[in-house]
């Protein structure tokens, strides 16, 4: 916020009746008390359905402007800056901003503290709450604690505020409204009010007062002109990196796509596709020179990584890494379903409003069909089966460039057999030795090679035999 916004906010806060989500002080408290205030104001803001709580230094109890000598950006706890020290002891890591500015020739320090989300905000292992003008342990007020838990259980990333208290001109500057109307195939309104009202209807912005709005995460992550304008979302810009070899030693080029996921998607896809290498070894292709990977790899897997990520995981961003022999697409957050069921299972998203809007714009496929398309395309191009990997706090999808069967290891062959079996099953068909030979380009006389792959996949408990002999996935 700039000085004008801060002054306007301070006027609003000092005009409020006494409440439990705003606290005025003249000078600094002890660092421990500061942490307790942040916890208490975060929880109280949640309880009173406010986006933020506020701790303001330089204001007397009578709400007079007296100024402060507190310098939080320079204060330390031991050898650590107090802002960093507080962050380490807050759980979960809510966002709080510290603003220092002059108002009526007096120095003011304002802490803007994010409302509790998902669970009560704790400081140093304990949650606090404001009761009147006092800070108390939340555990001493079980009814309030239960209410906060109930309210935070319905938390959604998309509803959170990306930027607060901006005027309509700044909304139009920060959000790419022409792209919104183009992508939704809606007529562009002839005036500003029409644009603003549509964004309010879509819950991309929230009207707070006359000509003052909050931009939600949904609006910012989809249609930001520049994600760097939204501090909490800047690290969620997708990174595309091209490497010279099979490892990360030599980077050829890198792109950080700072536009929103919706308005920047086509440009992102074009950049990736233009840089992908060509391959002359693919036998089924009708052209001599074709891209090494089918379009579906980019058009389906990249949106999946965007919409299914866990935005609460800090320090990571979705990424597309292109090596000479593979593409790796990653996003933060452990998968909500077993990676072995990615092909057949309807996806479960942490960010359903984001996913729904991306589907509405035809960026994401209807539920479940995107991964199916990738597998069908990979089989058509006779590429090795993609590898879906679940880590503790991330998902990684690896799509490999063309390999002959003799270049594939045992795991590659088992993975291809299982995925082929799933694709057959969900299209009301069953895998056979013949269909697997066709998938892996194995000649008829070499059917024992396919039989061995099928046997190894059965031993891995990924498929099971039916009469025929035909085969179905282990879960069927």
Domain match, 321 and 442 both: yes
Domain match, 343 and 443 both: yes
Separation CA 429–CA 419 (nearest Å): 13
Amino acid 268: pLDDT? 95
**Mean pLDDT per 10-residue segment, the chain (476 residues):** 87 88 87 94 93 92 90 87 90 88 93 90 94 92 89 80 92 97 95 96 90 94 97 92 94 94 95 79 50 88 92 87 95 89 82 91 75 93 94 92 94 97 95 96 94 97 91 95
- CATH number of the domain within which 291 lies: 3.30.565.60
Domain match, 166 and 281 both: no
Please list the alpha-helical segments (H only) found in 125-237: 142-152, 168-174, 177-183, 192-201, 217-223
Helix (H, G, I), strand (E, B) or coil at 236: helix
- CATH number of the domain within which 26 lies: 3.30.950
Quick check: 425 and 436 in contact, CB under 8 A?
no
Task: Output phi, psi for 344, to 5 deg.
Answer: -100, -25
Q: What is the pTM of this model?
A: 0.72
Q: What is the dihedral of CA 217, 218, 223, 224, to 10 degrees?
A: 0
Domain match, 269 and 219 both: no
Separation CA 302–CA 318 (nearest Å): 9
CA-closest candidate to residue 301, choices 158, 397, 368, 212: 397
Separation CA 354–CA 219 (nearest Å): 9
Name the domain boundary from 105, 124, 155: 155
Amino acid 370: pLDDT? 83
Domain match, 71 and 137 both: yes
Domain match, 240 and 227 both: no
Domain match, 368 and 254 both: yes
Amino acid 287: pLDDT? 46
Domain match, 245 and 289 both: yes
CA dist 281 → 39, 81, 373, 438, 450 (Å): 61, 58, 22, 17, 22
Provide the residue range defining the domain that includes 38: 3-155
Number of domains in the chain: 3
Amino acid 288: pLDDT? 52
Name the domain boundary from 155, 172, 193: 155
What is the distance between the terminal CA atoms of the chain, rounded to a whole angstrom?
Answer: 56
Domain match, 295 and 177 both: no
Domain match, 200 and 241 both: no
Name the domain boundary from 214, 232, 250: 232
Domain match, 134 and 173 both: no
| Sheet of 387-390, strands arranged across | 251-257, 238-243, 319-322, 326-332, 394-400, 387-390
Domain match, 147 and 176 both: no
Q: Whats the size of the chain, residue-wise?
A: 476
H or E element that contains 109: strand 106-114
444 Cβ neighbours under 8 A, 6+ residues apart: 437
Bond into 402 cis (ω within 30)? no
């Amino acid at each position: 916020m700039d000085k004008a916004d801060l002054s306007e906010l301070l006027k609003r806060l000092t005009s409020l009746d006494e409440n439990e989500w705003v606290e005025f002080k003249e000078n600094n408290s002890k660092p421990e008390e500061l942490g307790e205030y942040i916890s208490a104001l975060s929880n109280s803001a949640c309880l009173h359905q406010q986006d933020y709580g506020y701790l303001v230094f330089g204001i007397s109890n009578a709400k007079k402007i007296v100024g402060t000598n507190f310098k939080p950006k320079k204060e330390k706890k031991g050898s650590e800056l107090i802002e960093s020290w507080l962050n380490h002891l807050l759980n979960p890591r809510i966002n709080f901003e510290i603003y220092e500015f002059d108002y009526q020739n007096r120095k003011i320090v304002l802490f803007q503290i994010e409302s509790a989300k998902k669970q009560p905000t704790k400081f140093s292992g304990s949650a606090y709450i404001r009761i009147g003008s006092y800070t108390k342990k939340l555990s001493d007020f079980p009814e309030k604690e239960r209410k906060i838990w109930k309210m935070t259980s319905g938390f959604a990333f998309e509803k959170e505020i990306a930027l607060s208290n901006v005027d309509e001109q700044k909304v139009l500057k920060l959000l790419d409204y022409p792209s919104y109307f183009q992508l939704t195939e809606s007529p562009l309104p002839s005036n500003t009010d029409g644009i603003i009202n549509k964004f309010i209807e879509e819950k991309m912005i929230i009207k707070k007062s006359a000509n003052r709005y909050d931009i939600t995460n949904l609006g910012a992550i989809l249609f930001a002109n520049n994600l760097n304008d939204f501090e909490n979302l800047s690290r969620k810009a997708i990174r595309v990196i091209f490497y010279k070899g099979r490892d990360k030693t030599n980077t050829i080029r890198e792109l950080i796509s700072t536009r929103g996921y919706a308005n920047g998607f086509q440009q992102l896809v074009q950049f990736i596709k233009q840089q992908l290498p060509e391959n002359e070894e693919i036998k089924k292709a009708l052209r001599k020179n074709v891209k090494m990977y089918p379009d579906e790899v980019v058009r389906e897997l990249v949106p999946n990584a965007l919409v299914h990520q866990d935005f609460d995981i800090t320090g990571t961003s979705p990424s597309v890494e292109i090596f000479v022999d593979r593409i790796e697409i990653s996003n933060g957050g452990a998968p909500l379903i077993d990676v072995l069921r990615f092909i057949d299972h309807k996806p479960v998203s942490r960010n359903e409003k984001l996913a729904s809007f991306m589907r509405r714009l035809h960026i994401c496929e209807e539920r479940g069909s995107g991964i199916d398309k990738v597998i069908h395309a990979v089989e058509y191009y006779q590429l090795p089966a993609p590898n879906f990997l679940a880590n503790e706090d991330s998902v990684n999808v690896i799509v490999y460039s063309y390999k002959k069967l003799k270049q594939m290891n045992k795991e590659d062959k088992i993975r291809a057999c299982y995925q082929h079996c799933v694709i057959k099953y969900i299209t009301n068909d069953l895998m056979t030795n013949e269909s697997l030979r066709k998938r892996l380009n194995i000649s008829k006389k070499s059917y024992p090679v396919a039989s061995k792959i099928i046997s190894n996949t059965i031993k891995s408990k990924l498929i099971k035999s039916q009469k025929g002999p035909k085969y179905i996935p282990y879960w069927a």
